[in-house]
């Protein structure tokens, strides 16, 4: 944006209420301009009367008090004073229209931030690394944040409603936020490069800042960063002051603050020649209505000639049994035409060399209107203001010829002309769960059959995610009896859950009454909703199919999807203690313990927790594992079930232990006691420890490569494994205890780099 009659400096302020930008320009004048750079107005003729040079003069800060509706508004600025290299300045105030006499608000030094609180009616500024506040007349100056060594504060910005200050610390490469309510501070973003400027849009939860050459948008808490543009490139577009001139300009990254302004883009020759911009992606495609023929003219260009490649997208609804022919003519350059199917693939493509017309044709043979997209794009990196012509013509779909056997074989490798193929139960093509099969009903009276192995109680879905028509799917049980018809009009439709009633070979038949043979492929997909392949307990989705558990069982299972419920059952007697050890896992399922007879949950255990319940009545109980908010599929989980007498927690204080060569050292969890535990003669410490809290024992992998058992106070040492590395110079480095079984495990070096896991 070129300034009409002046040259901008680095620091800006904006007044969105009046559509104005404010700055101290190269003539040292405090001026305002429109957001498009026009209508420069001088507010103060000399905002630096002492002629101070250096950084303070280059970055003369400006802030705006928008004032009440109908009022004139006021502008604040830093006016340097003193010798040529002075860092001192007055905070000055003037009416926006330049009327009256400027007023001195405060004196400051090394000021790197100046902002007006529009809601609170206050002025904030930075003096060194101290933040001050006063009212808009300079009264009641208070310290908001005291100076802090090793920190810097630049580009001070305020969220007046949330009462939050934001700034960038260039020294520590961070973006900071401070609450004006309780004084708390938070580092929102760290690891910044050459960062400048902050813009807030609190009503949209948006924060903008520059980092090197990138303009970045995040949430107000610094999360979800998105690079919205890069400003480090040449600009070859038209001037905002004269659309017929194209100045040679370079758009460099920001070196000071940024402000928010709202304005309309100025026109370019490209915009005049393309009334449909911007239609550069599917989401912004220009809708066109076609009765018989529609012709439009447009251009492949953007406001910045030589910038990013332009692509023009159009959308058109094609009625049932109609054919659309798209033609691009009067080409100014080598263009490409693509007609895009709603599923995202190229239904038609044309890329003739040179300036030859590009033509693509598609047919809608479905029973409903379908919206296609037409894409016109350059064949290489080129922009031009010259127009092309796009013609869209609708006609009837011609009757298709019967496909040949060779054509059918190309689109359906599972089938063959009668009497061959997969048209019977005996010749059904095997399929796998979760793997789509692409084929076609290509022959006369064609029926395609597919078989899979199922289990009684297993839940499956049968779908045709891609289909030329709404074909019928017939499901046969292992006895060959049809049990379900799946279609777009039956109670059971594509993708519905179906529970198998017996185990064995099930078959799906794809067919269509009054079939018109076609090479258009369908896609058959059968999915296992219980993840039987990854869960040996399945199907166990109901009480009648519940998996029986006993004391000590360790369950490894899979939650298949949000509809999957895994049911387990166990028997217990009154007074027993039930313990569920449930590690954290990706399923996020909650384990619920419920009496088989019914009633409220007796226990709920979240992932990463241990659940303990004292059984109050003899009987059978269910454990349910489910997560109806599960967003992904096939998520594994595991838990351990223990039943027995109530366990008395170990007595004494809990300690953290570690070992040295000669002894043990332990510390209480609250740090009140730290003490050594000397071991008796012939015993020494080591690098690795393991503990058995159930039995109250420690195990030491000592420097003699022995495993020694001792009491928690270091007494009664016993060698339980005399040599964990016989005839090997490489030391054993790992040791673990299974508290339930009382067994110890260690890694024992053998030959070379080979290691085995041993147990005793």
The Cα–Cα gap between 344 and 359 comes to 19
Question: Can you count the helices (H) and strands (E) in the chain?
Answer: 3, 59
pLDDT of residue 300: 87
pLDDT of residue 84: 87
* Range in 240-254, 431-445, 537-551 with the lowest mean pLDDT: 240-254
According to DSSP, the β-strands at 472-476 and 504-511 are antiparallel
pLDDT-based confidence at 449, cuts 50/70/90?
very high
Strand partners, 757: 747
Residue 409, SS3 per DSSP:
helix
Q: Is the pLDDT of residue 303 over 60?
A: no
Q: Is the pLDDT of residue 116 over 60?
A: yes
Has residue 521 been placed in a domain? no
Q: Give the DSSP H/E element, type plus range, for residue 639.
A: strand 635-644
pLDDT-based confidence at 56, cuts 50/70/90?
low
Has residue 101 been placed in a domain? yes
Residues 719 and 679 in one domain: yes
Q: Positive or negative CA dihedral for 119, 125, 126, 130?
A: negative
Q: Is the pLDDT of residue 232 over 90?
A: no
Residues 582 and 672 in one domain: no
Mean pLDDT, range 658-672, rounded to an integer: 84
pLDDT-based confidence at 648, cuts 50/70/90?
low
pLDDT of residue 268: 58
Has residue 284 been placed in a domain? yes
Mean pLDDT, range 531-554, rounded to an integer: 90
pLDDT-based confidence at 267, cuts 50/70/90?
low
Q: Is the pLDDT of residue 43 over 90?
A: yes
Has residue 747 been placed in a domain? yes
Q: Are 52 and 82 in contact (CB under 8 A)?
A: yes
Residues 44 and 110 in one domain: yes
CATH number, domain containing residue 33: 2.120.10.30
CATH number, domain containing residue 305: 2.60.120.380
Domain end residue (candidates: 396, 423, 447): 396
Domains contained in the chain, number: 5
Question: Domain range spanning residue 579?
Answer: 533-644
Residues 413 and 386 in one domain: no
Q: Is the pLDDT of residue 201 over 90?
A: yes
- The neighbour count for residue 434, using CB atoms within 10 Å, is 13
Domain end residue (candidates: 616, 644, 672): 644
Residues 389 and 411 in one domain: no
Mean pLDDT, range 353-372, rounded to an integer: 94
Has residue 330 been placed in a domain? yes
How far does Cα 488 stand from its chain's mean position?
Answer: 35
pLDDT-based confidence at 3, cuts 50/70/90?
low
pLDDT tens digits, residue range 125-160? 999 889 999 999 999 999 999 988 999 999 999 999
pLDDT-based confidence at 310, cuts 50/70/90?
confident
**Could you say which DSSP state residue 55 is in?**
H
Beta strands in 491-648 (DSSP E): 497-499, 504-511, 522-528, 547-548, 554-559, 565-572, 577-582, 590-595, 603-605, 609-614, 619-626, 635-644
Q: Is the pLDDT of residue 472 over 80?
A: yes
pLDDT of residue 305: 46
Residues 328 and 412 in one domain: no
Mean pLDDT, range 349-357, rounded to an integer: 93
**Could you say which DSSP state residue 633 is in?**
S
pLDDT of residue 90: 95
Residue 378 CB contacts under 8 Å (≥ 6 apart), including other chains:
300, 309, 310, 333, 334, 335, 336
Strand order from edge to edge, sheet including 655-659: 655-659, 663-668, 674-678
Mean pLDDT, the chain, integer = 89
pLDDT-based confidence at 69, cuts 50/70/90?
very low
CATH number, domain containing residue 440: 2.60.120
pLDDT tens digits, residue range 544-585? 999 999 998 999 999 988 989 999 999 999 999 999 999 999
CA distances to 127, 150, 153, 154, 165 from 147, in Å: 9, 10, 10, 13, 15
Has residue 256 been placed in a domain? no
- The neighbour count for residue 132, using CB atoms within 10 Å, is 19
Has residue 525 been placed in a domain? no
pLDDT of residue 306: 47
pLDDT tens digits, residue range 711-723? 998 889 999 999 8
Residues 433 and 381 in one domain: no
**Could you say which DSSP state residue 433 is in?**
T
**H-type alpha helices, 358-484:** 405-411
Residues 638 and 661 in one domain: no
Has residue 466 been placed in a domain? yes
pLDDT tens digits, residue range 480-505? 999 999 999 999 999 999 999 999 99
For the chain, what percent of residues have pLDDT higher than 70?
93
Q: Token pair for residue 561? A: 């999807």
Q: Is the pLDDT of residue 524 over 60?
A: yes
Residues 620 and 746 in one domain: no
Residues 562 and 599 in one domain: yes
Q: Which position has the higher pLDDT, 672 or 177?
A: 177
Domain end residue (candidates: 198, 223, 248): 198
Residues 375 and 510 in one domain: no
pLDDT of residue 590: 96
Residues 305 and 442 in one domain: no
Q: Is the pLDDT of residue 477 over 60?
A: yes
Mean pLDDT, range 421-442, rounded to an integer: 94
pLDDT of residue 70: 53
Q: Is the pLDDT of residue 701 over 50?
A: yes
């Amino acid at each position: 944006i070129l300034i009409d009659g002046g040259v901008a400096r680095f620091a800006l302020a904006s007044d969105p209420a009046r559509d104005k930008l404010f700055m101290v320009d190269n003539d040292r004048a405090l001026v305002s301009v429109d957001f498009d750079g026009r209508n420069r107005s001088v507010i103060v003729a000399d905002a630096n009367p002492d002629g101070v040079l250096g950084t303070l003069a280059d970055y003369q800060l400006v802030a705006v008090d928008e004032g009440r509706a109908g009022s004139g508004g006021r502008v604040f600025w830093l006016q340097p004073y003193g010798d040529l290299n002075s860092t001192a300045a007055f905070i000055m105030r003037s009416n926006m229209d330049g009327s009256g006499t400027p007023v001195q608000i405060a004196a400051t030094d090394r000021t790197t931030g100046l902002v007006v609180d529009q809601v609170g009616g206050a002025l904030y500024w930075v003096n060194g690394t101290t933040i001050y506040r006063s009212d808009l007349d300079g009264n009641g100056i208070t310290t908001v944040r005291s100076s802090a060594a090793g920190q810097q504060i630049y580009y001070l910005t305020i969220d007046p409603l949330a009462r939050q200050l934001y700034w960038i610390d260039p020294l520590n490469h961070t973006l900071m936020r401070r609450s004006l309510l309780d004084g708390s501070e938070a580092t929102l973003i760290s690891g910044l490069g050459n960062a400048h400027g902050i813009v807030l849009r609190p009503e949209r939860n948006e924060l903008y800042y520059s980092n090197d050459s990138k303009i970045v948008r995040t949430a107000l808490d610094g999360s979800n960063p998105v690079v919205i543009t890069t400003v480090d490139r040449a600009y070859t577009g038209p001037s905002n002051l004269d659309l017929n001139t194209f100045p040679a300009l370079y758009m460099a990254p920001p070196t000071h603050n940024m402000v928010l302004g709202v304005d309309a883009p100025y026109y370019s020759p490209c915009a005049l020649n393309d009334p449909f911009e911007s239609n550069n992606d599917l989401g912004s495609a220009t809708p066109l209505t076609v009765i018989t023929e529609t012709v439009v003219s447009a251009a492949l260009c953007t406001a910045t000639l030589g910038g990013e490649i332009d692509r023009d997208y159009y959308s058109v609804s094609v009625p049932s049994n109609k054919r659309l022919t798209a033609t691009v003519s009067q080409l100014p350059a080598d263009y490409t035409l693509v007609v895009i199917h709603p599923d995202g693939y190229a239904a038609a493509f044309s890329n003739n060399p040179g300036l030859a017309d590009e033509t693509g044709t598609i047919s809608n043979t479905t029973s409903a209107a379908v919206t296609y997209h037409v894409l016109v794009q350059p064949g290489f990196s080129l922009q031009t203001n010259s127009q092309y012509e796009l013609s869209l013509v609708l006609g009837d779909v011609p009757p298709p010829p019967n496909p040949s056997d060779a054509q059918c074989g190309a689109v359906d490798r599972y089938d063959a002309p009668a009497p061959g193929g997969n048209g019977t139960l005996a010749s059904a093509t095997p399929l796998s769960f979760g793997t789509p099969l692409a084929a076609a009903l290509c022959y006369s009276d064609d029926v395609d059959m597919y078989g899979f192995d199922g289990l009684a109680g297993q839940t499956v879905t049968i779908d045709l995610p891609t289909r030329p028509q709404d074909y019928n799917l017939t499901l046969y049980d292992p006895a060959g009896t049809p049990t379900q018809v799946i279609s777009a009009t039956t109670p059971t439709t594509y993708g519905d859950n179906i529970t198998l009633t017996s185990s064995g070979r099930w078959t799906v038949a794809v067919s269509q009454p009054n079939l018109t043979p076609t090479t258009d492929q369908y896609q058959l997909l059968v999915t296992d909703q219980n993840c039987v392949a990854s869960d040996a307990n399945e199907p166990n989705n109901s009480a009648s199919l519940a998996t029986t558990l006993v004391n000590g069982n360790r369950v490894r299972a899979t939650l298949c999807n949000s509809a999957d419920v895994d049911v387990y059952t166990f028997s217990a007697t009154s007074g027993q203690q039930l313990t569920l050890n449930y590690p954290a896992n990706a399923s996020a399922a909650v384990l619920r313990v419920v009496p088989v007879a019914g009633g409220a949950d007796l226990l709920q255990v979240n992932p990463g927790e241990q659940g303990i319940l004292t059984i109050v009545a003899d009987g059978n109980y269910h454990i349910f594992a489910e997560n109806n908010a599960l967003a992904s599929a096939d998520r594994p989980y595991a838990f351990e079930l223990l039943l027995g007498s109530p366990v008395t927690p170990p007595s004494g204080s809990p300690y953290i232990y570690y070992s040295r060569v000669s002894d043990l050292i332990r510390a209480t969890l609250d740090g009140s006691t730290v003490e050594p535990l000397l071991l008796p003669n012939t015993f020494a410490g080591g690098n690795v420890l393991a503990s058995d809290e159930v039995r109250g024992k420690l195990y030491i992998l000592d420097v003699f490569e022995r495993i020694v058992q001792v009491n928690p106070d270091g007494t009664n040492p016993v060698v339980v494994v005399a040599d964990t590395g016989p005839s090997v110079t490489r030391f054993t480095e790992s040791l673990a205890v299974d508290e339930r079984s009382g067994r110890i495990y260690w890694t024992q070096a053998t030959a070379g780099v080979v290691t085995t896991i041993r147990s005793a």
